[in-house]
Structure 1
Amino acid sequence: MEHLLGLLRIKVLRGINLAIRDSCSSDPYMVVRFGKQKLKTRVVQNNLNPEWNEELTLSISDSTIPIKVQVYDKDLFTPDDRMGDAEFDIKEFVEAVKMRLENVPDGTVFTKIKPNRENCLVEEASIVWENGKVIQHMFLRLRNVERGEIELRLQWIDVPGSRGL
């Protein structure tokens, strides 16, 4: 069994201007993959700007593996249509958690990750201290599709008894 570092809570906030895959809309849902883990959001009917506001939790044992997200359009009688994908690294995020800072003022920024060719960030994503936790808020541009973004928020959860960071 791999050593568990902790849990990553991904709050899937919303999709923005997603691609049309049905006649004039889509029924989007999102799949998050990390290693052998696969988690899904619910389907939002007829919406190109879905508000999922769902929390998905991954067990993290290796912070060097990117987390992959895929958006699909749910279809009843045919295979679900792809609506793009993205991936993001959690290395910097885990490094910020490892600092084990305490009593830091809310809103303290640990790191800013700039958008570049290697990542899917739409804009700079800051890793900040919020309510005693390390948080990263990000907008990801979907690839392999004509348009669309997703908004996510990451939060680290320590697991009692795990090796931790």
Structure 2
Amino acid sequence: MPRGTLEVVLISAKGLEDNDFLSSIDPYVILTYRAQEHKSTVQEGAGSNPQWNETFLFTVSDTAYELNLKIMEKDNYSADDNLGEVIIPLETVIQEGSVPENSYKLVKDEKYCGEVKVALTFTPERNYERSYNQEEETGGWKQSARDF
């Protein structure tokens, strides 16, 4: 797998289960690639159709081929609730360079529970091949040999 940078644009979600009785849900997203993790801002009172339009960067340097997105609901007086998650395969974005805005189905307990929309871009790391010119050499064998 090539090394480089994965850019994830978190756009929006729709159809999230609004399980708060007194107010609208306050969703946020945890984005995970291997040991790297980012959290979106909490969309307070956004309800089941939040908008983020936030960009996150991940360093790709190994053979992991998936990005995990977990939609959470911020609770002030108890643990945050998992509203659903999706695992996005990365083979296409790495081969093509980008995947335009696309909706992915969120699942919780093997049941559909909404969608999240993201756009993905992969920028490979540039490998600079150094050309060895005799004039650029410093401290090499040729220079040392001239001193004798």
When normalised by structure 2's length, the TM-score is 0.75
The total of aligned residue pairs comes to 125
* Cα 1:90–1:63 shift into 2, 3 Å: farther
Report the counterpart of residue 143 of structure 1 in structure 2.
107
Partner Cα separation in structure 2 for residue 153 and residue 79 of structure 1: 29
Partner Cα separation in structure 2 for residue 162 and residue 68 of structure 1: 32
Report the counterpart of residue 153 of structure 1 in structure 2.
119
Instruction: Summarize the alignment of residues 14-163 of structure 1 with structure 2, pairs less than 5 Å apart.
Output: 14-23=12-21, 24-47=23-46, 48-97=48-97, 134-144=98-108, 147-160=113-126
Contiguous gaps of at least 5 residues in structure 2: 130-148
* Cα 1:63–1:96 shift into 2, 3 Å: farther
Q: Which has the larger radius of gyration?
A: 2
**Secondary structure of the corresponding residue to residue 93 of structure 1:** helix
RMSD: 2.3
**Secondary structure of the corresponding residue to residue 70 of structure 1:** strand
Q: CA deviation at 1:159?
A: 3.8
Contiguous gaps of at least 5 residues in structure 1: 98-133
Report the counterpart of residue 140 of structure 2 in structure 1.
none
What percentage of residue pairs aligned between the two structures are identical? 22
Report the counterpart of residue 13 of structure 1 in structure 2.
11
* Cα 1:135–1:141 shift into 2, 3 Å: closer
When normalised by structure 1's length, the TM-score is 0.68
Q: CA deviation at 1:137?
A: 2.4
Of Structure 1 and Structure 2, which has the larger fraction of its residues in helix?
A: 2
Q: CA deviation at 1:7?
A: 0.5
**Code of the aligned partner of 1:36:** A
Misfit runs of 4+, over 6 Å: none
* Cα 1:63–1:12 shift into 2, 3 Å: farther
